[in-house]
Structure 1
Amino acid sequence: MLNFDPKTGAPVFGGPVALNVGGKLYSTTLETLTKYPDSMLGAMFNGLRPPARADGGGRFFIDRDGKTFRHVLNFLRLGRLDLPEGYRELALLRREADFYQIRPLLEEIRQREEEARCQRERNAILHADVDRQGRLLHFTLKKGPQSYDLCTCHIQIYTANLFCTDASFLRLLRARLACGTPGSEEEEEEDADDQEENGGEDHHLRLEWAPQPPDLPQVEYRKHRFQRLRVVPEGQELTSAGAFLEEVLKTALRQGFRIESIFPDPEDILNSRSLRFVRH
């Protein structure tokens, strides 16, 4: 059975200290349990707190998670946190460390959680699809006061859809690419505002643009609300799917991504319709 000093109330041990933590049995030393005197265990086994009640076998009983206490006890023994590979219960371990008020253990757990968060953010998938559709436009061209010609021209409309598990990459790409109608600063500013509103943790980005054909008057181009796609701040206009994918490729490689797949022709990146990247 457990014995206590009648003057101080501190437990008196003649050998190993037997613990029952949530039904799991442990055996350790008083020196290990009191390694951090300002912790709950230190206070408990220094007699500064009412001693834990005993179970039927005379062991100190602590009503906490018994399985997790293994890591708490090993930290007290070793002075470092050794966890099995792939350990996924840091949140539970943090709650237990907080209950026992072992501050060095809490600090190491917080560092592990921050490292895990950074690793999750680094691990990412990026997928980019580009589609092109041709459209025949009919418009009238004024030749004189009462003279009009019926004209036609072809325009290529590009639609890009991107998905990335790292939302910060898409924010970077939004800042790098700008859609707008030539000669309309107001519309470009509105487009930038829309991109800002749709930012945050959005993992999708959709862009639609149509390069202006030389034979299409600007007034007709603006009337149909077509937009061009430019690289900021250089101002370079992207006039094809290949130019767009090249910009995505350069930005992705700078951010640590690598190409995983190319469709339809793995040997022809810039004439592809779909690129998939990964980052580890």
Structure 2
Amino acid sequence: MLNLNSPDSNSNSNSLQDPVSLNVGGEIYTTTLDTLTRCRDSMLGAMFTGQVPALRDKRGNVFIDRDGKVFRHILNYLRSSSLDLPDGFAELALLRREADFFQIRPLLEEIRRSEASAPLSLRGGPLGAMLMVDVDCKVRVLHFNLRRGPENYELRTCSVRVFAVDLFCTWRAFLALLCERFSYRTPQGPAAPRPCDPRQNRLKLEWVPRPDELPQDQYDKQRYRGLTVSDPEGAQAHADDAAAAALRSPCEITDMQRFVEELLTASLAEGFKVDSVTPDPADILHCTSLRLVKC
């Protein structure tokens, strides 16, 4: 169980001693306070100088609910002030997202330079790459108690739609782009989807839009989460335009047709062409399965 550090548990940075153990999304790292506070104006700098309260897991590790595997590269950058990525690294977009969350500005600049100088941009990619998509929607009946008073509860019933998407793509970098474009909406804030197994090039999404008749606390109690879509490239190009940025704020995906539309927008922009649609090629937005090939 995770617990917020309380005053009794000496949660401020002065109580931390080297080495510091972190649990980042289930991955355990050991480092020093000097490394973690190398960028004082970053989120990590704020956490480990006592400006932001921290969570701890049951073993006492400082817990951060972010992508644990990608954090390795963030930590290495803080140690050496150099962005050294393995050959064939295909998660640069995810790394940029994490660096932005932690607000490590020098690292963000390094990532942008790497993206600009990459010999093979995302819009290149392998010809013949295949994207296969299966979509599903199930309706579930949910019963819950609505509190009317201290000892007065009313039994309510509502239906929720559970959307599920299974994507397989032979071009792994495109799945990374989708993980940046789509986000889960959770009580803790936006959360990036994660591939089930990066080696299998597969990404599964499941989300439940909240119906109006379901109170937010009951929705959260069921551990449901919504799905939003954004345009990272558009937001990047107009970062200084507050009005334009507001228009590009993440939009809720409330039906499967909107998801398919956004998926087509992303895939067609990267050179994919629709190869087959089931059940009706003339009604692609209501498909149950879809195959695209990069030309």
TM-score interval for Structure 1 and Structure 2 normalised by the shorter chain = 0.5 to 0.7
Alignment of 1:13-162 (within 5 A): 121-162=126-167
Structure 1 residues 258 and 251: alpha-carbon distance in aligned structure 2, compared to 1, 3 A threshold: same
Q: 2:257 aligns with which of 218, 237, 242?
A: 242
- Give unmatched runs, 5+ long, in structure 1: 1-113
Deviations 1:226-279 (A, max 9, x none): 010001253111111111111110001000000011111111111111111011
Cα shift at 1:172:
0.5
The amino acid that maps onto 1:131 is D
1:199, 1:263 → 2: CA distance?
Answer: 26
CA RMSD of aligned residues (A): 2.4
Q: Does 1:218 align with 2:223?
A: no
Cα shift at 1:198:
6.1
- The answer for the alignment partner of 2:184 in structure 1 is 179
- The answer for the alignment partner of 2:73 in structure 1 is none
Aligned sequence identity (%): 39
Contact 2:196–2:204 under 8 Å retained in 1 = no
The amino acid that maps onto 1:235 is P
1:166, 1:154 → 2: CA distance?
Answer: 37
2:286, 2:124 → 1: CA distance?
Answer: 33
- The answer for the alignment partner of 2:227 in structure 1 is 229
Contact 2:278–2:288 under 8 Å retained in 1 = yes
1:249, 1:119 → 2: CA distance?
Answer: 17
SS in structure 1 opposite 2:271? coil
Contact 1:211–1:228 under 8 Å retained in 2 = yes
Q: Could you state the TM-score of these two structures normalised by the residue count of structure 2?
A: 0.50
The amino acid that maps onto 1:227 is R
Cα shift at 1:200:
5.6
- The answer for the alignment partner of 1:169 in structure 2 is 174
1:237, 1:204 → 2: CA distance?
Answer: 23
SS in structure 2 opposite 1:172? helix
- The answer for the alignment partner of 1:205 in structure 2 is 203
1:119, 1:232 → 2: CA distance?
Answer: 22
Contact 1:168–1:201 under 8 Å retained in 2 = no
- Give unmatched runs, 5+ long, in structure 2: 1-118, 232-248
1:163, 1:268 → 2: CA distance?
Answer: 22
1:130, 1:179 → 2: CA distance?
Answer: 17
Structure 1 residues 227 and 119: alpha-carbon distance in aligned structure 2, compared to 1, 3 A threshold: closer
SS in structure 2 opposite 1:121? coil
Structure 1 residues 127 and 150: alpha-carbon distance in aligned structure 2, compared to 1, 3 A threshold: same
2:196, 2:288 → 1: CA distance?
Answer: 25
Contact 2:196–2:202 under 8 Å retained in 1 = no
Q: Which has the larger radius of gyration?
A: 1
Q: Could you state the TM-score of these two structures normalised by the residue count of structure 1?
A: 0.52
